[in-house]
Amino acid sequence: MILDVAAKRAQLTPDAPALWWEGRWLTYRELDDRAERLAAALRGAGVRKGDRVAVLAQNHVAHIDLLLATAKTGAIYAPFNVRLAAPEQRAIADYLRPALLMHDEPHADKARATGVPLWHLDEHEERLRAAAPDPRPPGYDAVVGPEDVQMILLTGGTTGLPKGAMLPYRQGFYNAVNTVLSWQLRADDCVIQATPCYHAALNAFTVPLFHVGGQVVLQRAFDPDEYLRLVQEAGATVLFLVPTMFQMVASCASFATADLGRVRWAISGGAPCPLPVREAFTRRGVPMRQGYGLTEAGVNCFATRQEVADRKPHSVGWPMLHGEAVVRRPDGTPCAPGETGELTLRGPHVFAGYFEREDATREVLRDGWLWTGDLAVVDEEGVFSIVGRRKEMFISGGENVYPVEVESAIYDHDAVAECAVVGVPDERWGEVGLACVVLKPGRSLTADELRAFLYGRLARYKVPKHVEFAPELPKSGAGKVLKRAIAERFIARHLEEEEA
């Protein structure tokens, strides 16, 4: 099992382009040298095996440098979510207790609020040049093994304190192997890393492509027009974004004429990709696939063939090569084909648990299986589809309602740009649906018109009782819709109306 990927790649393909950053390609030899230099700087700062080193920054080469330096120091890469407020950053720092925190200028105030020793990234290149690689000091033991923790990634916590998912080297290795083999990645593949590094996004393509010797373009912050330009200039072969980002790219004025000739396929992650977005890329000759993963397992858990993706656009396919999946009832028994249950996963790509959260770990890791909290269904062909989050499902008048199904029907209306469906309290039915809808520019639609449209597509109890129109949906830094925020905003407004 190769744990120091930078060192191995520097031996195998030293001069091959590896990472594009700020206008130039860094080779695999350069990436390894940078990682060695950062490791020396960290050792000089007193960082030892098992210490957490945090990063509070938008996409920056320092994320890559630190990730690759972990195997050389035994330190743990622990990125912070830049969208959290200063008090939340302090709470995360108190929880993870990093030895130091690397930060960029836009987040300097938040970094200072943590109380952690700081390294400003304006000095990153100077620090690397000054820290020449040197032999490990006497008594320094940074040898890492497969079960040592390489990363702690924050998961959950759209409200409240997130949990730190501990990802050992074993997990990162098998996620990369699964992705390369099951998605058939190649050394001539190139991807634009546009999703935030402070989530699990580096594990989606960057780390797997480093294993196979591919190319990664690091975009500092997602901008759809720049993304399209980078796709063309770098010759990207695979596209990976969340649905909101794909929609923004498809809405660019240059999308219709952009040269996408090298793109082999695109994969949407984080949430189901709406049919209109899929169709926009398909018309440009870019086959679309639906991915599925979660921080605790990879993040790539399924693979599909293109003909299946075209035939069953909402499916995610079959478990990766080194992985198992079973859809289960609450009592743990497997569901029958077509029956909705909770997705459970098993394999070497599953995480080690939550940092200092034993109760939360026991809740999701049971008898060797990860209970994901996601609802899924398997069809007669053994193909898996994700129905939604277990916590997002709501019961209206005794009937289960899955928001993903309702959202898919809403997207069939050609005036809808984005939508999200959540369950909200109702005196008569217990819970009913609330649809928050963003319309396409220049289009109009009323709540009654949308409901009338849905009555022909859904059972009446699935049609949202409440419809709200908004200029945009609240989203996380990774582009995921914050459904809890939509529900809380609705409930708070209705409480104010009752008090008035």
- Which pLDDT tens digit goes with each residue over 431-462? 899 999 999 999 999 999 999 999 988 888 89
What number of other Cβ atoms are within 10 A of residue 246's Cβ?
25
The structural domains of the chain, ordered by start, are: 5-375 (3.40.50.12780), 394-499 (3.30.300.30)
Contacts of 200 (CB under 8 A, 6+ apart): 153, 155, 293, 294, 295, 298, 299
Angstrom CA distances, 118 to 49, 53, 80, 114, 162, stand at 19, 10, 13, 9, 22
Q: Given this model, what pLDDT does residue 138 score?
A: 55
Amino acid at 15: D
Which of the residues in the chain have pLDDT under 70? 134-142, 156-160, 477-479, 495-500
78-81 contacts at long range (C-beta below 8 A, 24 or more positions apart): 78/52, 78/53, 78/54, 78/151, 78/152, 78/153, 78/164, 79/54, 79/55, 79/153, 79/154, 79/197, 79/198, 79/199, 80/54, 80/55, 80/56, 80/154, 80/198, 81/154, 81/162, 81/198, 81/199, 81/477
Return the structure tokens found at 357: 């959260």
The secondary structure of residue 120, as a DSSP letter, is E
Give the integer Cα–Cα distance in Å for 104 and 222.
Answer: 17
The separation between CA 320 and the C-alpha centre of its own chain, rounded to angstroms, equals: 17
pLDDT digits (tens, 9 = 90+) for 200-243: 889 999 999 999 999 999 999 999 999 999 999 999 999 999 88
Per DSSP bridges, beta strands 52-56 and 76-79 are parallel
Give the integer Cα–Cα distance in Å for 21 and 219.
Answer: 8
Partners of 56 in the beta sheet?
103
Among 486, 427, 434, residue whose Cα is nearest residue 464? 434
Backbone angles phi, psi at 365, to 5 degrees: -105, 110
Return the structure tokens found at 291: 């991915």
Per DSSP bridges, beta strands 341-346 and 324-328 are antiparallel
What number of other Cβ atoms are within 10 A of residue 172's Cβ?
25
Helices (H), 284-416: 306-311, 358-364, 403-411
Across 323-341, b (16+ Cβ under 10 Å) vs e yields bebbbbeeeeeebeeeebb
The tally of CA atoms less than 13 A away on the side-chain side of residue 110 is 24
Q: CA-CA-CA-CA torsion for 196, 131, 101, 68, nearest 10 degrees?
A: 40
Burial class (CB in 10 A: 0-12, 13-18, 19+), 151: buried
Give the integer Cα–Cα distance in Å for 373 and 388.
Answer: 9
Q: Given this model, what pLDDT does residue 159 score?
A: 44
Q: Given this model, what pLDDT does residue 133 score?
A: 72
Q: Which helix (H) or strand (E) holds 217?
A: strand 215-218
Backbone angles phi, psi at 304, to 5 degrees: -140, 160
Cβ proximity of 70 and 64 under 8 Å: no
The secondary structure of residue 378, as a DSSP letter, is E
